[in-house]
Structure 1
């Protein structure tokens, strides 16, 4: 079933349609948030995204454009969380590690850990387009819509992100 049809069914009050939307899009949203903020904060922010979706679904003008609209909401939730955290005094790194779920580290192979560290080391704008384009499979146009920038900006950020990530991984001795 298409997202557009599910959105229309949600607007008609079908709870099962919303449950299907959540089943289809929860993992992509959670992965996007996790890659932008880290695993310890992904659950809360992803939950905030779905609350915003419930509230905003009646106002969605183009049901066929659900995916870019959803990631725009996720992007705003990530930005809000980053703004909150930048306003707070810094906490020691040990507290951050202690609050992280140890299960998230169990599957971290060396190459994957290097890649994730490299991704985390990118500036937010570049990391965002890399995650949206490669990991969430959004088109350049959809990335531009989510990020509220021209498509040329998305292309340049994507190019810069690839170059920066390649340089970081080369420095660590990865191929």
Structure 2
């Protein structure tokens, strides 16, 4: 069953359809939120997203646009939480990326995750949406409320910044 059909059914009050949407989209939304925010905030913000979806779903006019609408709701929740986080004084935690098991693959993933987390929020968001959630440039542009050209520029800058961060840490990926 397509997302659009599930949206229409959920708008008509079918709980099973809403449950199916949540099952299908919970992990991608949680993953997006988790990559944009500290781990401690991800669960709370993901729940806030689903509450906003529950409240806003009856007003969604075009069920075919569910995915960009959903990520826009998630983006707003992340942005609101980031405002709160940026208002607090920074606390730096040093992460030890030592190889406890000698696995280079695990270290590479940890390095990439650390490099991604170090990117500015706009660039990190574009990388997450485009590469990790496999969204089209046009969909990323709609979610971020910017032109496609801006998405391309942010992607280019994000890739460059991530590459530089990884090279500075001694990675050759």
- Regarding TM over 0.5, the answer is yes
Look up the SS of the partner of 2:61 in the other structure.
Answer: coil
Q: How many residues align?
A: 162
How far did 1:154 drift? Answer: 0.2
Is there any run of 5+ residues in structure 1 with no aligned partner, and where?
Answer: 98-107
Return the alpha-carbon distance in structure 2 between the equivalents of residues 109 and 12 of structure 1: 46
Aligned partner of 1:27 in structure 2 is 27
How far did 1:85 drift? Answer: 1.9
Structure 1 segments, 4+ long, off by >6 Å, are: none
Q: Which of these residues, 154, 158, 167, is aligned with residue 155 of structure 2? A: 158
Aligned partner of 2:70 in structure 1 is 70
How far did 1:40 drift? Answer: 1.5
How far did 1:24 drift? Answer: 0.2
How far did 1:82 drift? Answer: 0.8
- Note if 1:143 corresponds to 2:126: no
1:153/1:91 Cα in 2 relative to 1: closer, same or farther (>3 Å)?
Answer: closer
Is there any run of 5+ residues in structure 2 with no aligned partner, and where?
Answer: 95-104
Structure 2 length normalisation: TM-score?
Answer: 0.89
Return the alpha-carbon distance in structure 1 between the equivalents of residues 17 and 147 of structure 2: 33
Return the alpha-carbon distance in structure 2 between the equivalents of residues 161 and 91 of structure 1: 23
